[in-house]
């Protein structure tokens, strides 16, 4: 998965001077507990998480606003479904905004807001990672298509052929 490895997460956090640093730490704990299989790294100059075998991240903190923390739930860097499509997961909350069907933004301005949202946020994160895993899973194998044309040969082994079953010799050999 792209992004800086976990060792860089500690270095990034040591240098982080965001006014909501305590809330950032609490948010990271919530994400880690919601799905311990997620891999944390630094991407887009912020903590970001992805599935272990995925090529891209699916959750990223946006630290650009000093008054809020935003956790962006996405399906990677590539543009996905349009705004007219149904949301990627069925979830609604006052702290959640859907700028597109494949992207949700959870916004928190204080520890009190984060604490109040914690149970629902954990539920959302579990839904999101489950949907990401389902979307990343290879499609189920399709049964073979029915054969067309000549009928299938019988499945029973042939017994010894009788004279009537054997092909005849070419005419040039019969005349001898």
Each residue's pLDDT tens digit, 96-149: 999 988 899 999 999 999 999 999 999 999 999 998 888 877 766 556 666 666
Q: What is the pLDDT of residue 83?
A: 46
State the pTM of this model.
0.71
Q: Tell me the H-state helices in the chain.
A: 6-15, 21-34, 111-136, 171-174
Residue whose entry in the numeric block shows the structure tokens 């994160």: 125
**Over residues 147-157, mean pLDDT:** 56
In order of 22, 83, 140, 176, the CA distances from 41 in angstroms are 18, 28, 31, 87
Q: Which two tokens stand for residue 29?
A: 């704990």
CATH architecture of 6-136: Alpha-Beta Complex (3.90)
CB atoms under 10 Å from CB of 104, counted, come to: 23
Alpha carbon distance 81, 108 (integer Å): 26
Q: Which has the closest alpha carbon to 99: 76, 72, 119, 121?
A: 72
Q: Phi and psi dihedrals of 134, rounded to 5?
A: -65, -40
Q: What are the start-end ranges of the E strands in 30-141?
A: 39-43, 46-50, 57-62, 69-73, 96-100, 103-108
Q: Where are the domains of the chain?
A: 6-136
Alpha carbon distance 119, 124 (integer Å): 9
Q: Which DSSP string do the residues of 133-147 spell out, in sequence order?
A: HHHHSPPPPPPPPPP
- Among 31-40, 86-95, 163-172, the minimum mean pLDDT is found in 163-172
Residues present in the chain in total: 176
Q: What is the pLDDT of residue 77?
A: 60
**Over residues 66-80, mean pLDDT:** 82
Q: Which two tokens stand for residue 73?
A: 């739930």
Q: Which two tokens stand for residue 141?
A: 């194998």
């Amino acid at each position: 998965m792209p992004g800086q490895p976990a060792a860089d997460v500690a270095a990034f956090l040591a240098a982080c001077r965001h006014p909501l640093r305590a809330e950032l730490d609490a948010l990271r704990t919530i994400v880690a507990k919601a799905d311990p299989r997620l891999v944390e790294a630094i991407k887009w100059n912020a903590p970001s998480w992805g599935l272990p075998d995925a090529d891209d991240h699916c959750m990223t903190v946006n630290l650009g606003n000093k008054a809020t923390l935003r956790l962006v739930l996405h399906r990677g860097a590539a543009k996905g479904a349009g705004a007219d499509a149904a949301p990627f997961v069925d979830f609604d909350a006052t702290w959640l905004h859907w700028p597109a069907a494949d992207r949700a933004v959870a916004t928190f301005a204080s520890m009190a807001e984060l604490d109040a949202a914690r149970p629902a946020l954990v539920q959302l994160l579990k839904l999101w990672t489950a949907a990401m895993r389902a979307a990343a899973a290879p499609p189920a194998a399709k049964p073979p298509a029915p054969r067309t044309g000549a009928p299938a040969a019988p499945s029973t082994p042939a017994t010894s052929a009788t004279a009537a079953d054997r092909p005849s010799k070419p005419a040039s050999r019969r005349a001898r």
